[in-house]
């Protein structure tokens, strides 16, 4: 069942909620539900989404002109990528129901959830995310999957170097190190301004 999008503010006056899913609203929802701390901002997307879904982590002081026309902040590799699958069936918000995105503007916490029916089992995925104001370089995420029956779930997590950008490719070469099994590191340099960025995932 495809739900109809609604956008509302909860009675507390602080919480923005979008219900349902519409691919044509993906850019607007990502912008409306961005969580940030003034140094970095992460668009309001679910953890399994990628560049084609307008996922972006933008960092200040990385202005670059890649297309010869527009100078903009650079989107950097995504350190919060988490994707799950049951057999060959991916868990994806685009296939889900009971879809909700929520941003508590008082705490800065973004939450997204959806439920997907697979092999007669309801699987619910939820992600909570915030950008720390005490430690400006820290972006934290909790990803949870719950099934109401027995399933084997495969999970992939790490840094996604497939980067969405509005105007041109700012980071043409991304180098990813997986030397330590618990930590991954991605580095790249912007084409025009020569700014080097580093993103670590733990």
Phi, psi of 27 (to 5 degrees): -65, -45
- How far is 110 from 12, CA to CA, in rounded Å? 16
Structure tokens at 92: 């994806």
The CATH class of the 6-201 domain is: mainly beta
pLDDT averaged per 10 residues in sequence order, the chain, 202 residues: 61 91 87 95 96 95 92 96 94 94 95 95 96 97 95 93 94 89 91 95 92
Residue 111 CB partners (closer than 8 Å, separation 6+) = 100, 101, 102, 103, 104, 126, 127, 128, 129
For the chain, the structural domain boundaries read 6-201
Does the predicted model carry a pTM greater than 0.95? no
């Amino acid at each position: 069942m495809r739900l109809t999008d609604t956008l509302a503010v909860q009675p507390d006056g602080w919480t923005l909620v979008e219900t349902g899913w519409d691919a044509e609203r993906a850019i607007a929802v990502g912008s409306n539900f961005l969580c940030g701390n003034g140094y970095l901002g992460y668009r309001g997307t679910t953890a399994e989404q990628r560049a084609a879904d307008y996922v972006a982590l933008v960092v200040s002081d990385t202005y670059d002109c890649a297309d010869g026309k527009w100078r903009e902040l650079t989107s950097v590799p995504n350190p919060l990528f988490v994707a799950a699958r049951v057999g060959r069936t991916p868990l994806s918000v685009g296939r889900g129901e009971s879809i909700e995105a929520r941003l508590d503007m008082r705490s800065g916490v973004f939450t997204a959830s959806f439920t997907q029916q697979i092999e007669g089992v309801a699987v619910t995925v939820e992600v909570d995310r915030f950008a720390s104001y005490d430690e400006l370089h820290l972006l934290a995420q909790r990803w949870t999957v719950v099934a109401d029956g027995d399933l084997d779930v495969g999970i992939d997590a790490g840094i996604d170097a497939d980067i969405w950008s509005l105007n041109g490719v700012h980071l043409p070469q991304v180098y990813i190190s997986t030397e330590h099994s618990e930590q991954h590191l991605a580095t790249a340099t912007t084409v025009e301004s020569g700014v080097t960025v580093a993103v670590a995932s733990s």
